[in-house]
Amino acid sequence: METEREIQARIAEVEAEQHRLRIRSVEIHGLDAEERARLKALEVELDRLWDQIRRFRAGAQDAEELRPVREVEGYLQ
C-alpha cells in the first residue's frame, strides 16, 4: 500500500525527470523520438498520480491503485 507521502515523492521524481528533459530540449534544440515519447509518458504518469492523490485525500477505497490511462486521460476539464 502506498502512502500519500510515497505518491508525492514519486510525483517529485517524475517532475524532476520532466524538467531535465525540457532543459535538454532547449539546450540541444529539440528531443529525439524516444525522448519525446518519454516526456509524454511522464505527463500521463503525472496525471495518474495526481488523480490518485485526489482520490486518496477524498478517502476513496480504490485510492491505493492507479486508474487506467484511458480512464484518467479521458476526463473532461
Residue owning grid cell 486521460: 73
pLDDT of 9 reads 96
Inside any domain, residue 77: no
pLDDT of 13 reads 98
Inside any domain, residue 61: yes
Inside any domain, residue 22: yes
If one counts the domains in the chain, the total is 1
Give DSSP secondary structure letters for 14-52.
Answer: HHHHHHHHHHHHHHTTS--HHHHHHHHHHHHHHHHHHHH
* pLDDT at 15 exceeding the cut of 70: yes
The three-class DSSP label of residue 62 is: coil
Give the pTM.
0.85
For 24-77, write each residue's pLDDT tens digit: 999 888 899 999 999 999 999 999 999 999 999 999 988 888 888 988 887 655
Inside any domain, residue 30: yes
Domain that holds residue 8: 4-72
